[in-house]
């Protein structure tokens, strides 16, 4: 019988999950999202919405009472509350996994304990421990908030002794960790999935280019050697082997100068660097996530055509209503998220540029360069 799906969070990821669910109506009859913003992106494509904070206990219980399965599009849900409603709805990925992943220190400790490579790190509970750690790691090093950090907002790169106090004060009383700086060659990621029966599949390695700590562009496949791609794929599936629960996970990694791979962080959800799969692959990461949590056989993760995903971000220096963006180009698939207001660097949409037969990643990159001007948000006067 078709199930009712609950999603904590109804932003663009919830929107694209809802769209995937609509194509699987024999398995999912309805989607209800919990999101604090009225008319959130998912609600615009047919999800029902409970308007409430992601961590609001009563609303999570209310959601659990109405659905068969709960999943999430953000990692900041309250894992203890989710654990307490496990008797009302199936929850995937599991609240235990969410709890481990939500805290970067617990996440990295977990990976390290399973012999999965991560940068060197330590927990720091006062400024003296930060100073001690810096003696060991040298400069630069990263002071990181352990929780509730995203798009680089929870990191402070300490370049010299003079910055220690500023960095420490920046986080005002939050739980922290210190991490050795990795002078990486490239940032890459693997979208990995595991279904409730334990089947594991990974998509090919992709390359991620960030601006202002926000993902700007994903190049699929990554411009690395086969050896590096294989190594990353192996690390991703080893990670899936040890993580409990089902779903799609975004595994962000660094390629070091000597072509080693270390994991930067894991997102227990569909991931921005997997948006290319909407056009580049037979099974999108959104369908894959639903297949995983429903216990269906996972779909093909083969890359059919090289594809570049480019994020449409709100222009810096302006907040307000903006004109709809339109770009016409063969093989370009624009997806806007229905957000009314643009804010600096807000994720408003993305497009996928798919290679035509014989077209190389380099040719796609050149094309993207000529299209960038068209994706600036323009104020409605
Ligand atoms: P995070 O929010 O931890 O994913 O970090 C955001 C960005 O900061 C990453 O995409 C990297 O560009 C950079 N970063 C994080 N950790 C490190 C590290 N240990 N060494 C070098 N760069 C890092």
User: What's the average model confidence in pLDDT over 126-150?
Assistant: 94
Residue with tokens 């663009």: 12
User: Is the CB–ligand 1 distance for residue 39 below 6 Å?
Assistant: no
Residue 208 β-bridge partners: 187, 218
pLDDT at 149: 74
Provide the pLDDT confidence category of residue 78 given band limits of 50, 70 and 90.
confident
Tokens representing 48 are 């029902």
Identify the three-state secondary structure at position 360: coil
pLDDT digits (tens, 9 = 90+) for 321-374: 998 788 888 899 999 999 999 999 999 999 999 999 999 999 999 999 888 877
- Ligand 1 pocket test: which of 111, 142, 189 has the largest number of ligand atoms within 8 Å of its C-beta? 142
pLDDT at 150: 63
User: Is the CB–ligand 1 distance for residue 90 below 6 Å?
Assistant: no
User: Is the CB–ligand 1 distance for residue 92 below 6 Å?
Assistant: no
The answer to whether residues 310 and 370 touch, using CB atoms and an 8 Å cutoff, is no
User: Is the CB–ligand 1 distance for residue 187 below 6 Å?
Assistant: yes
Which domains does the chain possess?
Answer: 3-91 (3.40.50.20), 120-180 (3.30.1490.20), 186-377 (3.30.470.20)
| Distance between Cα 95 and ligand 1 center (Å) | 25
pTM of the full structure: 0.96
pLDDT digits (tens, 9 = 90+) for 279-311: 999 999 999 999 999 999 999 999 999 999 999
| Distance between Cα 264 and ligand 1 center (Å) | 7
CB atoms near residue 29 (< 10 Å): 14
Identify the three-state secondary structure at position 39: coil
Q: How many percent of the chain have pLDDT more than 90?
A: 88
User: Is the CB–ligand 1 distance for residue 181 below 6 Å?
Assistant: yes
Burial call 138-152: b when 16+ CB within 10 Å, e when fewer: eeebbbbbbbebeee
CB atoms near residue 125 (< 10 Å): 10
DSSP string, 105-165: HHHHHHHHHTT-----EEEE-SHHHHHHHHHHH-SSEEEEESSS--TTTTEEEE-SGGGHH
**Which ligand 1 atom sits closest to the C-alpha of 208?**
10
Shortest-distance Cα residue to atom 8 of ligand 1: 152
User: What's the average model confidence in pLDDT over 94-103?
Assistant: 94
Tokens representing 22 are 């609509």
Q: Residue 151: pLDDT above 70?
A: no
Planar angle of CA 147, 150, 156, nearest 5 degrees:
80
The answer to whether residues 338 and 43 touch, using CB atoms and an 8 Å cutoff, is no
| Distance between Cα 223 and ligand 1 center (Å) | 20
Q: How many percent of the chain have pLDDT more than 70?
A: 98
- Alpha-carbon gap, residue 179 to 121, rounded angstroms: 4
User: Is the CB–ligand 1 distance for residue 149 below 6 Å?
Assistant: yes
Strand-by-strand arrangement of the 48-51 sheet:
48-51, 28-35, 3-8, 69-72, 90-91
Q: What are phi and psi of 261, to 5 degrees?
A: -115, 135
pLDDT at 111: 98
Q: Residue 2: pLDDT above 90?
A: yes
What is the rounded average pLDDT for all residues in the chain? Answer: 95
pLDDT at 381: 54
pLDDT at 380: 64
Shortest-distance Cα residue to atom 6 of ligand 1: 152
**Which ligand 1 atom sits closest to the C-alpha of 252?**
4
Q: Residue 71: pLDDT above 80?
A: yes
pLDDT digits (tens, 9 = 90+) for 182-195: 999 999 999 999 99
Planar angle of CA 188, 221, 179, nearest 5 degrees:
5
Strands 141-145 and 155-158: antiparallel
| Distance between Cα 23 and ligand 1 center (Å) | 36
The answer to whether residues 223 and 242 touch, using CB atoms and an 8 Å cutoff, is no
**Which ligand 1 atom sits closest to the C-alpha of 151?**
2
User: Is the CB–ligand 1 distance for residue 265 below 6 Å?
Assistant: yes
Kind and range of the H or E run holding 167: helix 164-170
Shortest-distance Cα residue to atom 10 of ligand 1: 213
Could you write out the three-class secondary structure of 197-255?
CCCEEECCCEEEEEECCEEEEEEECCCCCHHHHHHHHHHHHHHHHHCCCCEEEEEEEEE
pLDDT digits (tens, 9 = 90+) for 208-242: 999 988 999 999 999 999 999 999 999 999 999 99
């Amino acid at each position: 019988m078709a199930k009712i799906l609950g999603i904590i969070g109804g932003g663009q990821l919830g929107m694209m999950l809802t769209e995937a669910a609509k194509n699987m109506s024999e398995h999912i009859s309805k989607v209800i999202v919990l999101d604090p913003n009225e008319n959130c992106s998912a609600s615009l494509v047919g999800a029902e919405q409970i308007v409430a904070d992601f961590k609001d206990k009563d609303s999570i219980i209310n959601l659990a009472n109405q659905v068969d399965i709960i999943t999430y599009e953000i990692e900041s849900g309250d894992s203890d509350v989710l654990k307490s409603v496990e008797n009302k709805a199936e929850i995937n990925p599991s609240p235990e996994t969410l709890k481990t992943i939500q805290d970067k220190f617990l996440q990295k400790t977990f990976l390290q304990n399973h012999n999965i490579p991560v940068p060197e790190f330590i927990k720091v509970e006062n400024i003296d421990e930060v100073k001690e750690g810096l003696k060991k790691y040298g400069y630069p090093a990263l002071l990181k908030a352990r929780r509730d950090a995203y798009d680089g907002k929870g990191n402070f790169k300490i370049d010299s002794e003079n910055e220690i106090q500023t960095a420490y004060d920046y986080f005002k009383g939050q739980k922290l960790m210190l991490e050795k700086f990795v002078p990486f060659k490239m940032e890459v990621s693997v979208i990995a999935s595991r279904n409730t029966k334990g089947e594991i599949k990974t998509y090919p390695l992709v390359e991620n280019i960030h601006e202002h700590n926000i993902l700007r562009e994903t190049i699929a496949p990554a411009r690395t050697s086969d050896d590096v791609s294989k190594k990353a794929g192996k690390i991703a599936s080893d990670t899936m082997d040890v993580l409990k629960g089902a779903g799609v996970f975004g595994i962000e990694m660094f390629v070091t100068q000597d072509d080693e791979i270390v994991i930067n962080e894991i997102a227990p959800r569909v991931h921005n660097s997997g948006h290319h799969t909407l056009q580049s692959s037979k099974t999108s990461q959104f369908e894959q996530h639903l297949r995983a949590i429903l216990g269906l056989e996972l779909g093909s993760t083969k890359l059919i055509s090289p594809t570049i995903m480019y994020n449409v971000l709100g222009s810096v220096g302006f907040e307000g209503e903006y004109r709809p963006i339109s770009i016409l180009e063969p093989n370009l698939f624009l997806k806007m998220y229905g957000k009314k207001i643009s804010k600096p660097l807000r994720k408003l949409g993305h497009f996928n540029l798919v290679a035509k037969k014989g077209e190389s990643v380099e040719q796609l990159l050149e094309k993207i360069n000529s299209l960038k001007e068209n994706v600036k948000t323009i104020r409605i006067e």
